Amino acid sequence: MTVGIRGMGLIGGSFEKAFRKAGHEVMNLKDASSAEIGRCNLVIVCLPPLLVAPWVVEHKDDFAADALITDAAGVKGVVCPQIEPVAKAAKWIYVGGHPMAGKERSGYANSDADLYRGASMIFTPFGGTPSSAVERLKAIFAEIGFVRFVVTDPAHHDEMIAYTSQLAHVVSSAYVRDPLAATHLGFSAGSFQDMTRVATVDPDIWTDLFLSNKGPLDAVLSRLIERLGEYRDAIRGEDAATLRKLLAEGRAAKEASK
C-alpha cells in the first residue's frame, strides 16, 4: 500500500513512521505532484483543522478513483461538511478521522512509530458512505496499533472531544497559572502532575482547536465552572453533608466510566 501524508508534525510524523514500520510505502505529500498524489491508496491529511478541507478540495482531481482519504483533525464540524459536496461528486471516498493519541509536545521531532499502540480511532463517515470503506479503514489502522474504533457523526464527535480532551487542556492550563505553582516542589505528588501535564501544549494549535469547537467547549466548560462552584459553596458553608454527597457522586461517576 502507498500511504500519502500531508502535514508532518507529531501526528503526521507518527503515521509516517508507523506505516513504514508496518511495511508500507509512505510519501510526504507536501509539494507532491498530481501524479504522486494519484499513486496513493490511502491519504491522511494531518494539517491544522481549518486547512484540511481546502487541501482536499484543491486536490479533488488528483486522488486515485479507489483511494481512501481521511484526516486527523481534532474537530470535525469545521472539516467534514466542507468536504462532503466534493466527496459525493468524486469516486474516491473520504471518511473523517481522529486518532485519540498525542503527547505533551508537538512537532515531527516528537513523532513516534508507536504513538498509536493501544489507542482509539474515531471515524465520522457521511451518511451513504459504504460500510465496507469504513471496515477497510479499521483494518488498515489496526495494523499500526489502534485497538478501538468509534464510528459517529461530526456533531457528536465534537461534543465528546470538547469534554474528554479540550476541557482537560483548558483546566490544565488554568490550574498551573496560579502564583503557588512556582513553589510546588516538595508539596506535590501525582495529582498535581496529573492536573498540569498537558499545560505544555502549543498555544497556536490549541487556540485554533478551541475556537473551531466554540459551542461544545463553552458548554462543557460552563458546566464544569458551575460544578466547581458547588464544591466551593459547600466548603465555604462548612456543609459536610453536601461535600460528601458531591465526592460520592464523583466516585460513582468515575467507577461507572471505567
Is residue 197 within the footprint of a second copy (CB under 8 A)?
A: yes
Answer for which of 25, 33, 34, 235 binds a second copy (CB under 8 A) is: 235
CB of 31 to a second copy, least distance (A): 28
Residue 58 exposed, middle or buried by CB count within 10 Å (0-12, 13-18, 19+): exposed
Per CB under 8 A, the list member of 55, 108, 126, 206 interacting with a second copy is 206
Comparison of 36 and 202: residue with beta carbon closer to a second copy: 202
Q: Which three cell numbers stand for residue 103?
A: 503527547
109 forms part of the interface with a second copy (CB under 8 A): no
Order of strands, sheet of 93-94, starting from the edge strand that comes earlier in the sequence:
25-28, 2-6, 42-45, 68-71, 93-94
Contacting a second copy within 123-162 (CB under 8 A): 148-150, 157, 159-161
- Smallest gap from residue 213 Cβ to a second copy (A): 9
- The answer to whether 191 contacts a second copy (rule: CB under 8 A) is yes
Among the listed ranges 21-29, 57-65, 136-144, 206-214, the one in contact with a second copy (CB under 8 A) is 206-214
122 contacts a second copy (rule: CB under 8 A): yes
Structural contact between residues 223 and 159, judged by C-beta atoms closer than 8 angstroms: no
For the bound state, the minimum distance from the C-beta of residue 91 to a second copy, rounded and expressed in Å, comes to: 30
Q: Is 146 exposed, middle or buried (0-12, 13-18, 19+ CB in 10 A)?
A: buried
**165: Cβ–Cβ under 8 A, 6 or more apart, which residues?**
74, 100
Q: How far apart are CA 97 and CA 116, in angstroms?
A: 13
